[in-house]
Chains A and B, each alone.
Chain A
Amino acid sequence: MEEIKNKIYQRLTEAFPEITEHKLDFPYNRLDVKIPKNKVPAILFYLKDEMGFKHLVHITCVDWIEEEKFELIFIVWSPKEKVKVFVRTELDRNNPVMDNIDMIWRQANTYERELREMFGIQFEGLVAPKEFILEDWDDIPPMRRDFDTEAYAKKRFFERPGREDAKDVRQTIAERTGESLPDFAKKYSR
């Protein structure tokens, strides 16, 4: 497997000298490369048409809030070599704009819609309805790390108050009905 990975990596670096980082010591059949964002459609075209990586597994995003970056990861799979290639690229967090790639794989359209809604990444030239899963969303995109989901839930939804005594529920019931707790229940109660 190491030989195949090395061979793929060499072919990629020959065609794309812009590759900045790489990891070959990923477990088993994964190969990881990093490339500037304007070269992403080119490398994906190359992987698909020249090297047999026919299947787009996933497009996902990591929010590096401390470094003010979004990291997009395109995962492609070759059924012939049985190798996954992770193509990583970095976007500016304050202005996340990316090229649309759904002319390479049609299913990329769905992933891009999801990223647009959950992270607020704009794909240039993406033709799709405005909403994907959320309806009438009026806050910052919910999968960003600066979105406080607990505060939002407290603000928006009703809450049922808990019991005031905050004791073991068996104890409360036993006191209410005037019974004593059985021994096996005492063992586990706080």
Chain B
Amino acid sequence: MVNDKNSQKIVDIIQNFARKHSLFVLAYGTGCGAIEIPPTMTSRYDAERFGIRGAATPRQADVLLITGYLTTKTLKRVIRVYEQMQDPKYVIGFGSCTINGGMYWDSYNTIKVLDKYLPVDIYINGCMPRPEAVIEGFIKLQKKIAEGRADGAKQYKENFEWYRANQKKVLGPTTPHIQEYNW
């Protein structure tokens, strides 16, 4: 029954509906933006009413928040974390630093354009984005998921060599090896 085209469409709609209402965010703060997450999660802004909540390990998480600047040293860990996460997975670039470098535009150890290294589904601009902006970004992501357009993980698999070449340009010989994480 699932091979039938129309049935698959219905299954997709139900799947996407379920996915968009349970976004588990990996509790991993890469930069100063992580300070905006506690007010977003706690009682005043209460992101859990949208189904957004924390997850302890990469294997349990759906969303990877890149909160603020990303040093080359952290990028290595972030790539490992992203590759460990199970499908479906989404990346949110958070703050100006992930978009064009922000105030670290001439820094010697922070990357400037995140989407060259990881597939980014949503960017939230601002330095820092307020919790309202964070929640708006998440709602945009939910819309994208519901329409089936949040296909960052698919992009990463298809263009893996391009991403890996970009990562190698920055990380050099210590780029993480390709590993089979989905076990």
Contact = CB atoms under 8 A, between A and B. Distances in A.
A135 B112 CA distance: 18
Interface stretch (A25-33, A61-69, A155-163, A177-185): A155-163
A142 interface: yes
A153 B174 CA distance: 19
A133 B109 CA distance: 11
Interface in B99-133: 99-101, 105-113, 116
A142 B108 contact: yes
A156 B106 contact: no
B106 A135 contact: no
Nearest to A134: B109
B113 A135 contact: no
A160 B171 CA distance: 19
B172 to A, nearest CB: 6
Band of interface residues on B: 20 to 34
Central interface residue in B76, B105, B166, by most chain A CB within 10 Å: B105
A158 B112 contact: yes
Interface in A122-171: 133-136, 138-139, 142, 147, 149-150, 152-153, 156-160, 162
Contact of A153 (B76, B100, B105, B171): B105
Interface in B61-114: 72-73, 76, 99-101, 105-113
Central interface residue in B108, B110, B111, B171, by most chain A CB within 10 Å: B108
Contact of A158 (B106, B107, B108, B113): B113
Band of interface residues on A: 10 to 19
Contacts of A149: 106-108
B34 interface: no
B100 A160 contact: yes
Contacts of A153: 105-108, 112
A159 B111 CA distance: 9
B41 interface: no
B43 to A, nearest CB: 35
A136 B172 contact: yes
Given A157-B170, A160-B112, 12 more contacts: A133-B73, A135-B72, A135-B73, A153-B106, A153-B108, A156-B108, A157-B101, A157-B111, A158-B166, A159-B112, A159-B113, A160-B100
Interface of A: 133-136, 138-139, 142, 147, 149-150, 152-153, 156-160, 162
